[in-house]
Structure 1
């Protein structure tokens, strides 16, 4: 990805996405992210001017949302980490006037009984127009994304595809594709309610047998959210 270098003045403190409590540490995280790279080198990699980078490093100014994302991609870190710090690197959507940036988690599986994303890091943020999300009835703050692992949904979802999860829809509404946690692993599967109160966990790939979670064992099935969008390479 390439960026056009810009020397436009950054927005005021009330408009940039870094909260007051995290501003004091931003330049330290930026220095850590840059490593041994000089401001001149990093400015070329990020597409920002050397003056802008030096201003961020000195703490004189702070980046706007689009610049924060450019810095994060060039440094190979999460924009959320840059803005909020490791302790606040949790599910959170960044929004500006036009776009919602949804976190893509490195969460192909999840062990233990904490949050589904516990221990998962944010790889990057995916940009969707806020208008398009709301037109679909989606609340940006309730969304996140993960990558599909394996070929059990081949024909619908391929290994490595990205799916967008609506966490507000975490109960079985009807037959649809959901991200679930079962046996301490995350899966994207089609769920179907069964007579008697159980739930069928269906793979699109017929090489995989349908699993049934009985009514008595429904507590073992956690519905993380409904899949509302998928994308991948052709």
Structure 2
């Protein structure tokens, strides 16, 4: 049994390696979408983005990246740039691109001495806001496919995504958790959270399905409790 499991692990590793190689070809060429859709032209050869409005992909969870590609292609996550990039790619190509960027090394910066906002560590129970750290990690390193790393992401990008969640123009989050949270944040709170997470050193996100699921459940429970409290007040 142990030998069989070891053989499965080796085969999975070989598959991931082959996908990564194929993904690099697609990232550099645009794959079925053509050269004008090449990923590196926006996200850089190292996958670290432009540091302004284009996010880093390097080291992010492969499952998260694959889901975003699928959502761009289907229109669940509408985007005038990424939609045309993702649509021409088939399922295997999207998986390959995700595996490639997940495999890239991350250029980590210095550890920030700036303390996190209270909302990051404690949330706001009165407003039904769970701590950001419950889903995205204490240092914004992410937790599995459901909760991506925010560390090292440009503040302008994170701020824009929060605004999209708030306006419900982005709505591909598990159980609507981010739509609910973003809708309760003030402009200053959103800006502070984005600025702090940008300062955290980028690092590969630890994949943990169990932790990911429990974090979403905790956030959803907080939102439900808030709604129940408001009903009682009325």
Could you state the TM-score of these two structures normalised by the residue count of structure 1? 0.24
Could you state the TM-score of these two structures normalised by the residue count of structure 2? 0.24
Which fold has the larger relative contact order, with Cα–Cα distance below 8 Å and residues 6 or more apart in sequence?
A: 2
